Chains A and B, each alone.
Chain A
Amino acid sequence: QVQLVQSGAEVKKPGASVKVSCKASGNTFTNSYLHWVRQTPGQGLEWMGIINPSAGSTSHAQKFQGRVTMTRDTSTSTVYMELSSLRSEDTAVYYCATEGSSSWFGNWGQGTLVTVSS
């Protein structure tokens, strides 16, 4: 079973960017698509996008068009999610999660709290 370890909490000012990392253990990094999901008090759980760690291809929710970038580093089994033009509504816990045989999420990272505040 793959384990996902995320980077630590961040505090950012409005308009800034944040980059969250998610490191996968084991040698299954390129075998499972990885998703980003965030959780806010107001919106609950919200899917942001998906990355294929093998090919590097991505797809994201229309809501985050132009603001989210997902990348990966196969040498370190790490994926990254960068969100730009931050606003207060982006304050949330951001999770990475691997999918199973379809897009349900069997393994989750521990979450990264991102706080956007002036």
Chain B
Amino acid sequence: EIGLTQSPGTLSLSPGERATLSCRASQSVSSSYLAWYQQKPGQAPRLLIYGASSRATGIPDRFSGSGSGTDFTLTISRLEPEDFAVYYCQQYGSSPLTFGQGTKVEIK
């Protein structure tokens, strides 16, 4: 089973600032099969990025994903008020599919 470790646990930033979230895998994720999700309280997760760097339909271009192998990054170039939420990474390169424990982006 591939473990995913996200850092930091909490990121305190102001609107307009850049957010950089990390997801590190315990072993290489095949074919960059890594996705990122955003979750707000009381809602289901929302797909942001798949294939490590492809934005899902309707996702603003301030969200970008990068990385390969064991190290992946989600970058939000300029935080908007609606971006304060919890973010999860997920690998789908091998079974069982696994998620990171999440990074909370909170307003400073």
Interface residues of A (CB under 8 A from B): 35, 44-47, 59, 61-63, 95, 97, 100, 102-106, 108-111
Contact = CB atoms under 8 A, between A and B. Distances in A.
B95 to A, nearest CB: 7
A111 B90 contact: no
B99 A104 contact: no
B88 interface: yes
Interface stretch (B12-20, B21-29, B43-51, B70-78): B43-51
A111 B97 contact: no
Contacts of A44: 88, 99-102
Interface in B41-85: 44-47, 50-51, 56-57
A45 B90 contact: yes
A102 B97 contact: no
A47 B56 contact: no
Contacts of B51: 102, 104
Nearest to B97: A47
| B-side interface mostly | loop
B92 A46 contact: no
Given A47-B98, A95-B44, A104-B90, 12 more contacts: A35-B97, A44-B102, A45-B45, A45-B102, A47-B96, A47-B97, A61-B95, A100-B50, A103-B33, A104-B50, A105-B35, A105-B45
Contacts of B99: 44-47
B88 A45 contact: yes
Contact of A103 (B44, B88, B97, B100): B97
Contacts of A106: 47, 56-57
Contacts of B33: 102-104
Contacts of A95: 44-45
Contact of B44 (A61, A100, A111): A111
Contacts of A103: 33, 92, 97
A45 B101 CA distance: 7
Contacts of A104: 33, 35, 47, 50-51, 90, 92
A62 B92 contact: no
A103 B93 CA distance: 8
B82 to A, nearest CB: 18
